[in-house]
Amino acid sequence: MSESSPESPPDALRAFRLDGRVAIVTGASSGLGEGIARGLASAGARVAVVARRRDRLGKLAEQIGGLAVGADLGDADQVAGVVPAVAEGLGPPTILVNAAGALLSPDKAEDESLDGIRRTLDLNLVAPFRLAQDVFPHMRDAGGGAIVHISSISGRVGIPGIPQASYAASKLGLSGLTSELAVQWARHRVRVNTVAPGFFRSEITEDLFENERSRAWLSRNTPLPIDGTPADYVGAVLWLTSEAGRYVTGQTIVIDGGWTAR
């Protein structure tokens, strides 16, 4: 084994570096997307951060030396503007992380409106697909790239007490999209994977973690006796977007403390 020092990391660690890469992270104004944007930047990538809240994006972009791109990803025209803006501002992107998402229609399945179902699919499934289409030519021309969708354990299993049928359908749809794009684009060395988180503290789960009863329910249903932290999903995204994950494509990686293993 070769010697290593902090100045010269072993090859295994160097494979996680993203120096010189341009990355797009959607949903970066809070929660998982923000953690992922910070993680990719710390590994050397120049990161374009995308969401609706431009003030937050501006601050984050300043801190990580990236680019803020304000866009409502529920709007097809605004989705179409994202990749050209990044290519012009930072250069051709070779990493795309689709983390923007929301549970827009938290009604019982039998009561979900057509509008709620469509808005959920547009944001959680159609926008990631369209962004993947838009980055593909840049990745092909660069000789490769990595796309990671952030889905959910919802869809893989039902979650009792929190109705989310269209959300679940949109999230499991990302896994189907992942396998198909991975196979179609493998010959261009464009890899496509999905990370499916369990419950992590963020704006959408804040109430669950704050309320004593739901907190106990989360603990009861999570075999590992610890809370997940940003490091737990950032590590997976770094692996999948860097050379460390160069032989991995078409997969859905579940990070849930064992929730779905029961």
Ligand X SMILES: NC(=O)c1ccc[n+]([C@@H]2O[C@H](COP(=O)([O-])OP(=O)(O)OC[C@H]3O[C@@H](n4cnc5c(N)ncnc54)[C@H](OP(=O)(O)O)[C@@H]3O)[C@@H](O)[C@H]2O)c1
Exactly one of 22, 37, 47, 51 binds ligand X (CB under 6 A); which one? 51
Write down the H helix ranges in the chain. Answer: 11-14, 31-42, 54-64, 76-89, 114-121, 127-142, 165-185, 206-210, 212-221, 230-241
Query: Closest CB to ligand X among 1 and 260?
Result: 260
Is residue 31 near ligand X by the rule CB under 6 A?
A: yes
Which residues are known catalytic residues? 167
Question: How many angstroms separate the most distant Cα atoms in the chain?
Answer: 62
| Short-list 91, 155, 146, 98, CA closest to 124 | 98
Is residue 101 near ligand X by the rule CB under 6 A?
A: yes
Is residue 66 near ligand X by the rule CB under 6 A?
A: no
Residue 242 gets which letter from DSSP?
A: S
Is residue 214 near ligand X by the rule CB under 6 A?
A: no
Binding mask 220-259 vs ligand X (x if CB under 6 A, - otherwise)?
----------------------------------------
Work out whether the CA dihedral 67, 68, 72, 78 comes out positive or negative.
negative
Q: Give the 3-state secondary structure of residue 98.
A: strand
150 with 99: CB under 8 angstroms?
A: yes
State which residue has the least CB distance to ligand X: 31
Exactly one of 23, 27, 94, 252 binds ligand X (CB under 6 A); which one? 27
Q: Measured from the CB of residue 5, what is the shortest distance to ligand X in angstroms?
A: 36
Query: Closest CB to ligand X among 75 and 243?
Result: 75
Distance CA 36, CA 235 (A): 9
Is residue 53 near ligand X by the rule CB under 6 A?
A: yes
Rule CB under 6 A: which of 119-148 touch ligand X? 123
| Contact residues for ligand X, defined by CB under 6 A | 27-33, 51-53, 72-74, 99-102, 123, 150, 152, 197, 199-200, 202-205
